[in-house]
Amino acid sequence: MRSLELYGRALQLIPGGVNSPVRAFRAVGIPPLFVTRARGSEVVDADGKHYIDYVGAWGPLLLGHGHYDIERAVKLALERGIAYGLSTEAEVRLAALISEAVPSIEKVRLVNSGTEATMSAIRLARGYTGRDVIVKFIGCYHGHVDSLLVKAGSGLATFALPDSAGVPAQFAELTLAVPYNDPEAVRQVFSSHAGKIAAVIVEPVAGNMGCIPPAEGFLKTLREVTAAGEALLIFDEVITGFRLGIGGAQEMFGILPDLTTLGKIIGGGL
């Protein structure tokens, strides 16, 4: 089979044969798919098998593969040039659209990935508060940021390892992981680390644990506790942004964070 052949070659050239742990499919006991093309709601693998795509590039392909309007816009952009190294009118218009859509956003910094967005948000929170400690929630994933790969429930968690190899202990010591949907645990950690916490970062809906919604009042508690502790509240809306509503989870639940991170949903997967 062509897919198995490609997987064999990939194992020789790419660690684990894939460029993202979730593509390895080891948790479901089958070799990874190698896709050759896609259209609409279908993907086709290297062996010519057709699949209905319920994944949508892990979320951002809300309009499916090869949507006419998106293809036309991409072609027009290619004709104008794809890499300037300078500012453009388009980025100003995009920043305006994002700030108009998401209730808490006043200014936008564009980066290349969700990981860079969370990394920048953490750095900004630490710089603004002059503190170092970050609070996250067990099982929530915030990208490949060393200080956030603590009990993230991703990657190596597939192999029953709760934390990620390669993260120095010093980084982990600055990240406090508490149970999701447990407001009392949040209050306790703020009490025991008073004056040291820079920010709380949370997936408003815990996507990496199976899309677990916040318990009633949980996000409100986070807003109140962070405000009282003079820490920032960061909503990681890489998964919820523009999906639960045009304004994301913060619009749906009526809780405004200090910082919001968004991912490739902004460009429909591009």
The yes-or-no verdict on residue 153 having pLDDT over 70 is no
Asked if residue 66 has pLDDT above 80, the reply is yes
Q: Which domains does the chain have, with CATH numbers?
A: 1-82 (3.90.1150.10), 87-267 (3.40.640.10)
- The stretch 59-75 carries a mean pLDDT of 91
Query: Quick one: CA dihedral 97, 98, 99, 103, positive or negative?
Result: positive
pTM score over 0.85: yes
Mean pLDDT of 189-212: 95
Backbone angles phi, psi at 109, to 5 degrees: -115, 120
Q: For position 164, what pLDDT does the model report?
A: 65
Express as a percent the part of the chain with pLDDT over 70. Answer: 94
Query: What is the model's pLDDT at position 156?
Result: 41
The tokens describing 204, both together, are 């408003």
Q: How far apart are CA 26 and CA 17, in angstroms?
A: 11
Q: Which long-range contacts (CB under 8 A, 24 or more apart) does 253-257 make?
A: 253/204, 253/214, 253/219, 255/204, 255/219, 255/220, 255/222, 255/223, 256/103, 256/104, 256/223, 257/104, 257/223, 257/232, 257/233
Q: Based on C-alpha coordinates, what's the Rg of the chain? A: 20
Q: What is the pLDDT of residues 87-110, one digit of tens each?
A: 999 999 999 999 999 999 999 999
Q: Measuring CA to CA, how many Å separate 7 from each of 14, 30, 161?
A: 10, 12, 25
The residues assigned a catalytic role are: 141, 236, 264
